[in-house]
Structure 1
């Protein structure tokens, strides 16, 4: 069994089609078909059957494929260990994030990470969302905490771990304020039309936040742009200003504490923003990097099903990257 045979068999299994496998291997389909025929003649039995639904591996093919995968995984593991050995003296992970929530998360997880990986230099870089995305795509940081309105980011992969609803938050004493204790338990917040904020001073996020431009458009469409008296990308500051009666603001629900006396409303339709971790496309994650992701999710209070999804996503991602790495062994 040659390394070439192992790669070709893995490609056939991964793609399920001679045409797609040939494209992945940078071969012509006739060349790949001839290789398969020669291999089957050498073994003395068919390995795959061509059907309308793609390639179906015979019992012999399944046995041969499993052997190929084991050999490839062993070769890849040797390569990883050698790479890790060469990088051991300079291994580091750089996590990006915002100066407030990102920095708070980093401070809480740092000691726990160091206990498990004392030889890895864990660093933190803070900046605005657009700058962090640029640093990530250019390889200046390993991964980054990012807020987003969608999970598809150019040149990046995005692992979502939290949904946050944007709520309109009104100060105590506002004409539309209410006592939260009068709300039915386990029911959605009441909805409002932004036009009802006519005459209310507006505090809003700066465009550097993941949803800043969208919020400004909503205010503009509601005829409220002239009501804006203050802008900041520091969300806790906006919340404190609402708490102190300065005006109304649109803020993620994770900041809301009913005991503060602030009244909140949903928009219709509801607007949800995401919190997650951005990764460079194709970047193989080490065990330490995967551990860091779960530490961040724990700190953020991600629900259990999000951890399950993260495990599934990272496993599928590893399979995709391994398939690519097989061709480089």
Structure 2
């Protein structure tokens, strides 16, 4: 059994496709298929069921996958420990983030991290909070930035609160009302553009309208803030965005809400963060104002409840 075979199994399991797995692993599909078939013969069991439409894990594959991931993580950790002994951090850092992250200037943080640790291979994935929590649990993402309703906490992962904030309503420049501040009830008759029902990005708005005793119509459900903004620009409805994020679209009219929905941004990571992930967590440090206790074991156990979280790496030297 070889590490490369384990990588191929994990890639196929995560993509549900031999072709995409081969592309991810940068090998020809025939070589990947041959190695997996060789591993199956060694194990005496098929790991995948293959049909013309899809590929899925067999019961044996389901049992094998967690151990395969653990082996790959242990090997990566061993290489990183050797490099760290000579004063250098290597490996990979897979970062996930919601599109509307506002508590951290993420592009700047990634830029400075890469300057400080140039031998770490960084990737970034944009997705919804629920999806990112699951990816961190599986280990395919190392650290992620979420936005959840204020009373919610991410489960099954280590986490740190970064900061909370209110949502605002955003409307087209020629919107028929010029109010700068209203309550939710006054918007009850408006069509809304929001994330899909049940998603974490939608929950805080639904909870706030329910608390106000208001039923609203959401004819347009989107999967990204950019699409929401595009629909708002066309006058198709009212959007809801974090107050710290909405100013990125200066052509839209912002309406503040007296009974505004609120959300909390979180930084999450797995139970055994790699050295590369730990170094990133060190950069995302708290302000001293309004500190709260972490739920995790990474360095920097206290965090600010307000934004301005990013810490210049020069201050860590």
Q: Give the TM-score category using the shorter length.
A: 0.5 to 0.7
Q: Residue 256 of structure 1 corresponds to which residue in structure 2?
A: 246
Q: What is the alpha-carbon distance in structure 1 between the residues aligned to residue 225 and residue 296 of structure 2?
A: 34
Pair 1:136–1:295, CA change in 2 (3 A): same
**Matching of residue 292 in structure 1 with residue 280 in structure 2:** yes
Pair 1:145–1:177, CA change in 2 (3 A): same
Report the alpha carbon displacement of residue 134 of structure 1 after superposing the two structures with TM. Answer: 1.1
Q: Residue 82 of structure 2 corresponds to which residue in structure 1?
A: 85
Report the alpha carbon displacement of residue 212 of structure 1 after superposing the two structures with TM. Answer: 1.0
Give 5+ residue unaligned stretches, structure 1.
1-79, 181-189, 298-302, 321-329
Give the TM-score of the pair, scaled to structure 1.
0.53
Report the alpha carbon displacement of residue 261 of structure 1 after superposing the two structures with TM. Answer: 5.5
Report the alpha carbon displacement of residue 151 of structure 1 after superposing the two structures with TM. Answer: 5.8
Indicate the larger mover: 131-140 or 208-217.
208-217
Within-5 A mapping of 1:41-80: none
Report the alpha carbon displacement of residue 84 of structure 1 after superposing the two structures with TM. Answer: 0.6
Pair 1:159–1:250, CA change in 2 (3 A): same
- C-alpha contact 2:170 2:255 (8 A) present in aligned 1: yes
Q: Residue 324 of structure 1 corresponds to which residue in structure 2?
A: none
**Matching of residue 205 in structure 1 with residue 195 in structure 2:** yes
Q: Residue 257 of structure 2 corresponds to which residue in structure 1?
A: 266
- C-alpha contact 1:171 1:245 (8 A) present in aligned 2: yes
Report the alpha carbon displacement of residue 89 of structure 1 after superposing the two structures with TM. Answer: 9.6
- C-alpha contact 2:144 2:267 (8 A) present in aligned 1: yes
Q: What is the alpha-carbon distance in structure 1 between the residues aligned to residue 159 and residue 152 of structure 2?
A: 6
- C-alpha contact 2:158 2:297 (8 A) present in aligned 1: no
Number of residues paired by the alignment? 217
Task: Report Cα offsets for 1:236-284 as digits up to 9, x if no partner.
Answer: 332343344322122211233395351412142x432122211224x25
SS in 1 for 2:231: helix
Task: Report Cα offsets for 1:10-66 as digits up to 9, x if no partner.
Answer: xxxxxxxxxxxxxxxxxxxxxxxxxxxxxxxxxxxxxxxxxxxxxxxxxxxxxxxxx
Q: What is the alpha-carbon distance in structure 2 between the residues aligned to residue 98 and residue 90 of structure 1?
A: 26
Pair 1:207–1:158, CA change in 2 (3 A): farther
Answer with 1 or 2: which has the greater Rg. Answer: 1
Q: Please provide the CA RMSD for this pair.
A: 4.0
Q: What is the alpha-carbon distance in structure 2 between the residues aligned to residue 127 and residue 256 of structure 1?
A: 19
Pair 1:163–1:236, CA change in 2 (3 A): farther
Pair 1:217–1:277, CA change in 2 (3 A): closer
Q: What is the alpha-carbon distance in structure 1 between the residues aligned to residue 95 and residue 128 of structure 2?
A: 13
- C-alpha contact 2:161 2:265 (8 A) present in aligned 1: yes
Kindly indicate which of the two structures has a greater share of residues assigned to strand.
2
**Matching of residue 215 in structure 1 with residue 227 in structure 2:** no
**Matching of residue 242 in structure 1 with residue 241 in structure 2:** no
Q: What is the alpha-carbon distance in structure 1 between the residues aligned to residue 300 and residue 281 of structure 2?
A: 18
